Structure 1
Amino acid sequence: MIKLVRNPDIYHGKNERSNFFEGWYFKLVQPRTGDTYCFIPGIFLGKEGNSHIFIQVLKGNEKNFKYLRYRENQFKASTSEFNFQVGGSSFSLKGISLDINQQYERIFGTLYFDNIVRWPDSAINPGSMGFYNYLSFMQCYSQVCAVDGNIRGKLSINGRIVDFTGGKLYIEKNWGKAFPYSYIWAQGNSFNDGDGSITCSIAHIPMPFPMKSFTGFLIGIYAKGKFYKFTSINRSSLSISCEEEKVILKTYNKNYFLKIEAFYKQGTFMKLYAPRDGNMIPVASETLQGELNVTLFDKKRGSMIFNDRSSSAGIEFSENYMDLIYK
């Protein structure tokens, strides 16, 4: 148990039989065109014989989504490191090797990952969720595996060779019983100046009686070689507002102030599948064509640390995400 808590990257489902999911999110940005792809491999263990393995494939610029199912015996995972297989495809922190041939999707090739930036953690606060990883009753756990990274290699995607060399990488994962019913998520690391990465997750966190449910958030920004955290754990404050096709997040602690403006077009969203009520159903909407304006300010020095705009940003909402804004 302690090994899993302190190593949130690795597979957590070895002893699970039902009412469990685990999925990894690999976001890849092609450096010259900005075309953005996402592969979400995972496992779902249901209660009514609907357990299966899956890979969700998102082609952001085509607004194309596929949910590919595999048999349970087509999943193999290491219990000591971030390394697992779905069918003929393998996934790790060092790279991915894809061999997909389903639903008119033929994707194969190998990509290597370099210069991985990790979310700083400790034994007391392991991973990006920190001490919440020690609580066994959480509905959903989250881990940012790679805040930023570079890609080498090519993929053949339905007969077209896509060279990702020099492109940007982001990896995270979720596991538990179900996805949050209300959440907002945003991520970007394709900034105009070429440096920096930001990830943001805000969700309604249900708690068992007599504890009270709350809005939890994990926001991390890597800028100019340094990592800054704004989270529920370190007692940062957060405000959320929205305008037409725009969400504005403001968070601060005693040292820093961060503002994120997330821009999106409604017509670019794709429905994603997530675990809810014992099934994998399309409850999430995501675009890979978003843009993020990010400003980080040093309150004590009265100076700007970071001010830039990221294209090819991922922005995702649950169906009732507005509950987080008008709570």
Structure 2
Amino acid sequence: MEPSFCGWYFKVQSSECSLALIPAVHGSAEESAASLQILWGEQSGVVPIPAVRAAVNWASPRVMLGENLFCPHGVALSVRNARWNIQGVLRFGPLKPLHIPIMGPFELMPFMECSHRIASMKHRIDGTLFINGKFVRFENAEGYIEGDKGCSFPRECAWSQCFFPEGSLMLAVARVPVGPIAFSGVIALLQVRGREYRFASYLGARLVSVRAGRVEIRQGCLVLIAERLGQAGQPLNAPVCGGMTRTIRENLCCRVRYQLRKDGFILWELETGRASFELEYPC
């Protein structure tokens, strides 16, 4: 088989708890495999799954990993190994997908090292999980779903996501190789009070700077800034040529400051301690 990976990222967040579940299939010419990565508070880990017991759908967030099921209506978990014991069901309210794919025309480009898809910016979650001896209840919690597919995760990338009462936000920048050259790809979406601000390379967005945990992008007269106010987070595995051989770090729940400016004036700003942030750029 050609080196490849395909996976979905399910984020679940209540006022007391943050949880991310990343089911994926991945493989190279030598072997195929599957895994469920888990981020829970300050803990992270990987549960390997036999590839013969795994299936993933790229058209919608549907994954089967052994006894664990993920779909647009919720997840059913049954995880048991030396480190993790997770049992339970989470039910999703109606998902909030995008009317236009976040990657726009780039979604159709065959040369992309990694394609990105958003299945829901913000939806309701209810249910109870038993996690390592603790009952964790999610009542009117918030959820976010995105997916990645390709051969390798971007060598340089930054990503952030957060919920807030008036809406939600996601931002991603990455080094995108095209043959012997590369460019900085940008996608971001801010939904606030019924209005949507979309940043994308195909709309003229560009990366201004990445330094010291701060990402700034610009599109015309609009500037969007995300700044992590803390250190790097928990380790996760990322694919290289289909194999999960690279380690990256993600803060599932940390303090981040956001700001949207237009012609120098602040249109929207937020500082929250419940944002997710990932940064894989050289200092």
**2:240 maps to 1:276:** yes
Distance in 2 of aligned mates of 1:236 and 1:276: 27
Cα separation, 2, equivalents of 1:146 and 1:39? 15
Residues 186 and 262, structure 1, Cα contact 8 Å, conserved in 2: no
| Equivalent position of 2:20 in the other structure | 38
1:53 aligns to 2:34 (yes or no): yes
Q: Deviations over 1:197-228 (max 9, x none)?
A: 1111111100025xx42000111111011221
For residue 282 of structure 2, what is the aligned residue in structure 1? Answer: 322
Deviates more, 1:72-81 or 1:212-221: 72-81
Structure 1 residues 66-85: aligned runs within 5 Å: 66-77=45-56, 81-85=60-64
Measured in 2, the distance between the counterparts of 1:54 and 1:96 equals 16
State the partner residue of 1:164.
138
- 1:317 partner letter: L
1:68 is displaced (CA, Å) by 0.7
* TM superposition shift of 1:304: 4.9
State the SS of the aligned residue for 2:107: helix
- The residue aligned with 1:13 is none
Cα separation, 2, equivalents of 1:22 and 1:108: 24
- The yes-or-no answer on 1:149 pairing with 2:123 is yes
- For each residue in 1:164-211, what CA deviation from the matched residue of structure 2 results, as whole angstroms up to 9, or x when unmatched? 11212111111111111111111111x3xx2221111111100025xx
Superposed, which structure 2 residues align to 1:294-313 within 5 Å?
A: 294-299=258-263, 304-313=266-275
| Kept after mapping to 2: 8 A contact 1:230/1:253 | no
Which residue matches 2:186?
217
Structure 2 Cα separation of the partners of residues 218 and 312 of structure 1: 21
Q: What is the CA-CA distance between 1:79 and the residue it aligns to?
A: 7.4
**Which position in structure 1 is the counterpart of 2:167?**
196
1:32-55, Cα deviation, whole Å (9 max, x unpaired): x2x211110000122223x21100
AA in 1 matched with 2:229: F
Tell me the TM-score normalised to structure 2 length. 0.92
Q: Indicate how the Cα distance of structure 1 residues 77 and 230 shifts in structure 2: closer, same or farther if over 3 A, else same.
A: closer
**Residue-pair matches, total:** 283
Match of 2:205 in 1: 236
| Aligned match for 2:12, one of 16, 19, 28 | 28
Change (3 A) 1:232 1:252: same
Q: Which residue number corresponds to residue 158 of structure 2?
A: 184
- Structure 1 80/312 Cα, relative in aligned 2: closer, same or farther at 3 Å? closer
Matched, 1:259 2:221: no
Aligned to 2:114: 140
Q: Give 3-state SS (helix, strand or coil) of 2:140's partner.
A: coil
Give the Cα–Cα distance (whole angstroms) in 1 for the partners of residues 254 and 56 of structure 2: 33
Q: State the one-letter code of the partner of 2:114.
A: C
Q: Could you tell me how far 1:80 is from its partner in structure 2? A: 6.2
Unmatched tracts of structure 1, length 5 or more: 1-16, 122-126
Spell out, residue by residue over 1:141-165, the C-alpha distance to the aligned partner (whole angstroms, 9 max, x if none). 1112111122111111122111111
- Counterpart amino acid of 1:29? Q
Please give the root-mean-square deviation of Cα atoms over the aligned residues, in Å: 2.1
**Alignment identity in percent?**
24
| Separation (CA, whole Å) in 1 of partners of 2:90 and 2:193 | 26
Aligned residues of 2:35 and 2:47 also touching (Cα < 8 A) = yes
> Which structure carries more strand by proportion?
2
Contact persistence 2:250–2:279 (CA under 8 A): yes
Does 304-313 or 196-205 show the bigger shift? 304-313
Amino acid at match of 1:130: G
Does structure 2 retain, via aligned residues, the 8 Å contact 1:237–1:252? Answer: yes
* Superposition deviation, residue 236 in structure 1: 2.1
Contact 2:3 2:243 survives alignment (8 Å): no
Residue 297 of structure 1: how far off its partner (Å): 3.8
Q: Does 1:99 align with 2:81?
A: no
Shift in Å, 1:120: 3.0
Give yes or no for contact 1:30–1:167 (8 Å, CA) kept in 2. yes
Counterpart amino acid of residue 294 in structure 1:
Y
Aligned CA distance change for structure 1 residues 297 and 317 (closer, same or farther; 3 Å)? closer
